[in-house]
Amino acid sequence: MYWHADKHRHHSERHRVDRTGWLRAAVLGADDGIVSTASLMIGVAASNATKTSIFVAGMAGLVGGAMSMAVGEYVSVSSQKDSEQADIARERVEQREDPQHELTELTEIYRRRGLDGDLARKVAIRLMEVDPLGSHLRDELGLDERTMARPVQAAAASAGSFAIGGALPLVAMLVAPSAARIAAIALASLICLTFLGGVGGQVGGAPRRRGAMRVAFGGAIAMAVTAVIGSLVGIAV
């Protein structure tokens, strides 16, 4: 850990800030998994392809999409982590080379937040004694251990949720009759997207209805556009 934390403190309030990283990756991955795979399968199905072709396209989209999501999340979050580590290293050097300046800097931060000069300096001195690095990371740089970048966690959450989401339209196609494949894929996907959006909104602290409608509407547009394009390509070919 980069700063002191009282692990034995119990708190009755429930905060969601520590869920930000994995929740964002998981919701984004599942949403993309459903929308991407369903849209791909609907587009292929609209071109009058065989059941086997639709399934192969869906599986290829699922595997390729999951890997792409994992790599993308890992690279993106790793860049964020590199920036955080650079800030932490720089702060260590500054505290070692000029601790008095760092004390003055922290005092000024607390003074601007409403403490009088003497109290701000006493607080800064005390925090510099017990947790010099952590106090500056939190109050000067805005870094919080609970929300710092975790590339592997983000990549795993994104890839896993994409695969789970992408499997849903595949299952819907397999159990649906030939004449209703497109409808079954679209309906199952929209139901899952609505549920996903609602759960994501609730866990993230937002209204469930807003999250559900936002995700479902976006998915419906994506599937409709892909269906039209697939149909036109099928006619042309």
- CA-to-CA distance for 187 and 152, rounded, in angstroms? 33
pLDDT at 204: 62
pLDDT attached to residue 103 = 77
Residue 2 confidence class, pLDDT cut points 50, 70, 90? very low
The reported pLDDT for the residue numbered 146 is: 65
Question: What per-residue string of b and e applies to 16-52 under the rule 16 or more CB within 10 Å gives b?
Answer: eeeeebbebbbbbbbbbbbbbbbbbbbbbbbbebeee
If we measure between CA atoms, which residue out of 66, 71, 84 comes closest to residue 152? 71
Chain centroid to CA 103: how far?
Answer: 36
Identify the weakest region by mean pLDDT among 2-11, 23-32, 48-57, 172-181. Answer: 2-11
**What average pLDDT does range 29-54 have in this prediction?**
90
18 has pLDDT over 60: no
Q: Which residue has the higher pLDDT, 109 or 94?
A: 109
Q: How confident is the model at residue 107 (pLDDT cuts 50, 70, 90)?
A: confident
186: left (phi over 0), alpha (psi -120 to 50) or beta: alpha
**pLDDT band at residue 98, thresholds of 50, 70 and 90?**
confident
Which tens digit of pLDDT belongs to each residue from 142-197? 666 666 778 888 888 888 989 999 999 999 999 988 888 999 999 999 998 888 88
> What are residue 26's phi and psi, to 5 degrees?
-70, -45
pLDDT value at residue 31: 84
pTM for this predicted structure:
0.69
Q: What does the DSSP assignment read for 22-91?
A: HHHHHHHHHHHHHHHHHHHHHHHHHTT--HHHHHHHHHHHHHHHHHHHHHHHHHHHHHHHHHHHHHHHHH
User: Which has more confidence, 225 or 211?
Assistant: 225
Of the chain, the percentage scoring pLDDT greater than 90 comes to: 24
Reading the block at residue 6, the tokens are 């009282």
* Helix (H) / strand (E) containing 209: helix 208-236
- The DSSP call for residue 100 is H
